[in-house]
C-alpha cells in the first residue's frame, strides 16, 4: 500500500520504539484497528522488523506514515474487524 523508501533495516528495539511513537501519533484515529511489529522478511530468525498497522479503509491508510524513526511501516487493509 505505502511505497517503501530505502531505509536501514531496523532491529527489534528500534521497531519497538517506532511502534510506541506511532501508537501515540495514531491514538484515537478512526479506522486504525491495531499496531504491531512484524518480521521484514521470511528469514528465520528474523534480522529486521517493520511496524505493521491494521486499518479498516483507505482513508485510514492515507494517515499512516511510510516510516517512523527510520523504521518502515507496513499497512494492512483488513476491513472492519468484529468480535465473534
Residue 4 has pLDDT above 60, yes or no: no
Looking at residue 69, what is its pLDDT?
A: 94
What tens digit of pLDDT does each residue of 23-65 get?
999 998 999 999 999 998 877 777 899 999 999 999 999 999 9
pTM of the model: 0.82
Query: What distance in Å separates the CA atoms of residue 74 and residue 15, rounded to the nearest whole number?
Result: 12
Residue with cell 517503501: 4
Q: Which residue has the higher pLDDT, 79 or 62?
A: 62
Q: Which residue has the higher pLDDT, 14 or 83?
A: 14
Amino acid at each position: 500500500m505505502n511505497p517503501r523508501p530505502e531505509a536501514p533495516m531496523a532491529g527489534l528495539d528500534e521497531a519497538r520504539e517506532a511502534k510506541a511513537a506511532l501508537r501515540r501519533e495514531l491514538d484515537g484515529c478512526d479506522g486504525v484497528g491495531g499496531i504491531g511489529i512484524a518480521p521484514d522478511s521470511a528469514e528465520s530468525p528474523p534480522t529486521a522488523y517493520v511496524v505493521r498497522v491494521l486499518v479498516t479503509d483507505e482513508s485510514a491508510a492515507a494517515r499512516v506514515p511510510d516510516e517512523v524513526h527510520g523504521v518502515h511501516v507496513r499497512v494492512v487493509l483488513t476491513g472492519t474487524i468484529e468480535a465473534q
